[in-house]
Chains A and B, each alone.
Chain A
Amino acid sequence: MNTKEITNQEELFVSGHRACHGCGMAIAVRHILKATGKNVIVVTPTGCLETFTSPFGYSPWRVPWIHHLFENGPAIATGVVAALKAQGRDDTRVLAIGGDGSTFDIGFGALSGMLERGDDVLYICADNGAYMNTGGQRSGASPLYSATTTDPAGRSSVGKFQMKKDIPTIVAAHGVPYVATASVAYLKDLEKKIKKAMTYHGPRYIQIDSTCPSVWGFPSDRTLEVGRLAVECGITPLFEMENGEITKVRKIKKKISIEDYLKTQKRFRHLFAGDQGREALKEIQDLADANIRKYGLLKQAKAETTTSSEEVFT
């Protein structure tokens, strides 16, 4: 046995998958499995993660893994949980890791059903804000005024005209015990949240800002950097909700403007030309500022909504 084999034995998500250069989602998955350990079954609906890990004969998954269809990840997970329960395999837990297309859009009905039933599944949305697997079409998770291939910028369009769907809040409204947002830019924080989610039973939800060099349009070595900027400008608030209450918020270390984040990506390039773009930038800045107020993202600031034990992560 050589050294490579030795180290690869510990890794639950091994090399040889076909993710793009610098894929944020692939980094997230490595850390998700680091946090859960090997006693999990992973369900992955159709999407990027499925595509780059599923070519027949070449699976990077060192945990049992199943892909079935695009819109039924949560229901497949329910079926697996039911079988485990019937068989008394209590030590095995179930994760579902879907993209934003399956989570926000086509599989949302199934997700809501799973949450309402209270099934013991940790559902993770690796959110890259569009249908990247098919070339970057608009999803319900695409950010306001981002250019996507089905909602492109043009002479009479500044990109997506609608807000990103607030799925964490919608999930929380189902009365689930644990909801969190995380980012590939903060991997220790991500692992902590996964570990904490695993201490709960019932449906839990973690949404990970999964930065995407290929379609967002930034160099493949900036995957974490772009994720950090998203958090530091306030557009991507990182928080935890336990039993419906926001219990922890990641504070912004040094607040940056929305432009500092948006200008790093091709999908927002159109906003930096013309009056329409300027107006749009203002609106996005307002969104970020509203997040900062709502979640109390600045140091010394309290969230508008009541929070108990706020904690500053570093």
Chain B
Amino acid sequence: MSQVQVVEGSEAVAYAVRASRPHVISAYPISPQTHIVERLAQMVADGELDTQYVRVESEFSAASVLSGASAAGSRAYTASSSQGLLLMTEVLYASAGMRLPFVITGVNRTISAPISIQVDHQDTISLRDSGVIQLYVESSQEAYDTHLAAFKIAEDPAILLPVMVCMDGWILTHSYERVSFLKQEEVDRFLPPFQPADFLDVKEPKSWGSYGEEEMLMEFKFTVYDAMQKGKQRIKDVFSDLSLVTGRDYGGLIEAYHTGDAEVVLIGMGSMAGTIKEAVDELRSEGKKVGFVKIRCYRPFPYEDIWEEIKNAQVVGVMEADVSMGSEGAVSMDLKAKVCGRANAPLVLDFIAGLGGREINMDLVREIVGEAEKVCKSGVPFQEPYWAGLNPSILP
């Protein structure tokens, strides 16, 4: 039995975190993440949440506090955005290497310069190589559910990696939505206390953070890579276990939407999925065979699952709110790398969209599908990414 409330997205996350009973929460302000840690602070102040809430002096320390707490055997959580996530970069790489399973909400916001507080995925995408698992959500309900799953995924003995739940700033964190919450005892049954095999303990002194000589460093890196690869099935299992409790099933690592007979399949992550699904419905009512794949788990990258949904399509259009300067979007690169060389692989097109809060609306999705259809006909993909929604009239 669950209860339903209309809440702000940030509050939904705070409820999920509270229900997960973290021992330690660290907090440092940055928009648009701040409402989450503020709400948690109020819960502590009101005696509704028993946790060590540490007000740190930087995001670098916010992530470091989680690392120390996690190594000492505690469940730990923080949230951040944009520059804050980049400041954590070094800590996240090291924590993944040391297999410290804390959870961070990465509230998506663009990266300076120019400074802006608006949403895109450049911040979290920039951390894709760190060894941190990245889950992207479409709605506040999915954010609530995914946070519950995140702790369980992170702490899985076969995984033991930090998990970042990536959630679009403002669009999700600051909008109100009906969200269904689990009862505490349901969460407790799903997510037992964190009990790591190794932790900093005077009864059994162990050393953490060793130097890896050249004859073993590759092997250490491989263990992290391997945990990610093997983690795919574990993540699916956790999602599926949770869906039995919540009654909500978003799919596994991806969510497929009308891909069965689609000639053009769009791919996207985060809140843009809602708009894309609506556009797909509209286009389908006009007779166009369009489908959509929402990537829920970006790292590890679920290329096998994606392949199953795109293998019969002619063209795949990746819509992504990030760009690797000097190359193209990261998701497109990931996908191209994995479909390259497969027989009858669809053509992959990259659409950069929604940078710095640029609106992704139905018209933009239609424009993108139109470009994809042109390539269906010509059979010749464009090489440079298509900057969807760019206004050339104001370029210098």
13 contacts between A and B (CB under 8 A): A56-B213, A64-B207, A65-B207, A68-B98, A76-B67, A76-B68, A79-B72, A80-B71, A83-B73, A87-B72, A87-B74, A110-B58, A113-B58
Chain A residues closer than 8 Å to B51, beta-carbon distance: 86
Q: Which of B205-232 contact A (CB under 8 A)?
A: 205-213, 216
* In the complex with contacts A56-B213, A64-B202, A72-B60 CB distance below 8 A: yes
> Is A117 in contact with B54, judged by CB distance below 8 angstroms?
yes
Chain A residues closer than 8 Å to B66, beta-carbon distance: 79
> Is B91 in contact with A39, judged by CB distance below 8 angstroms?
no
> Is B64 in contact with A79, judged by CB distance below 8 angstroms?
yes
* In the complex with contacts A79-B68, A82-B52, A86-B24, A59-B210 CB distance below 8 A: yes
> Is A82 in contact with B65, judged by CB distance below 8 angstroms?
yes
Distance, CA A67 to CA B97, complexed state (A): 12
Q: Across the two chains, which residue of chain B brings its CB closest to A110? A: B61
Q: Which of B182-210 contact A (CB under 8 A)?
A: 200-202, 205-210
Q: Across the two chains, which residue of chain B brings its CB closest to A57? A: B210
Q: Across the two chains, which residue of chain A brings its CB closest to B51? A: A86
Q: For the complex, is A84 an interface residue (Cβ under 8 Å from B)?
A: yes
Q: For the complex, is B23 an interface residue (Cβ under 8 Å from A)?
A: yes
Query: Smallest CB–CB gap between A215 and chain B, Å?
Result: 20
B→A interface (CB under 8 Å): 23-24, 26, 51-52, 54-58, 60-61, 64-74, 76, 90-91, 94-95, 98, 200-202, 205-213, 216
Known: A76-B64, A91-B202. 4 other contacts (CB 8 A): A54-B207, A69-B90, A79-B24, A80-B72
- Contact residue among B94, B95, B98, B211 (Cβ-Cβ distance under 8 Å from A51): B211
Distance, CA A38 to CA B204, complexed state (A): 11
Q: For the complex, is A43 an interface residue (Cβ under 8 Å from B)?
A: yes
Highest count of chain B CB atoms <10 Å: which of A53, A57, A78, A110:
A78
Query: Smallest CB–CB gap between B197 and chain A, Å?
Result: 14
Interface majority SS (helix, strand, loop, mixed), chain B: mixed
> Is B207 in contact with A79, judged by CB distance below 8 angstroms?
no
> Is B212 in contact with A56, judged by CB distance below 8 angstroms?
yes
Highest count of chain A CB atoms <10 Å: which of B58, B60, B65:
B65
> Is B69 in contact with A82, judged by CB distance below 8 angstroms?
yes
Query: Smallest CB–CB gap between B301 and chain A, Å?
Result: 27
Q: For the complex, is A165 an interface residue (Cβ under 8 Å from B)?
A: no
* In the complex with contacts A71-B60, A109-B58, A110-B64, A80-B69 CB distance below 8 A: yes
* In the complex with contacts A76-B67, A79-B66, A110-B64, A66-B200 CB distance below 8 A: yes
Chain B residues closer than 8 Å to A38, beta-carbon distance: 202, 205
Q: Across the two chains, which residue of chain B brings its CB closest to A37? A: B202
Chain B residues closer than 8 Å to A81, beta-carbon distance: 68
Distance, CA A41 to CA B73, complexed state (A): 13
* In the complex with contacts A109-B57, A113-B58, A79-B210 CB distance below 8 A: no
> Is A43 in contact with B68, judged by CB distance below 8 angstroms?
yes
> Is B200 in contact with A56, judged by CB distance below 8 angstroms?
no
Query: Smallest CB–CB gap between A142 and chain B, Å?
Result: 25
> Is A68 in contact with B58, judged by CB distance below 8 angstroms?
no
* In the complex with contacts A71-B60, A82-B65, A113-B56, A39-B71 CB distance below 8 A: no
Q: Across the two chains, which residue of chain A brings its CB closest to B209? A: A67
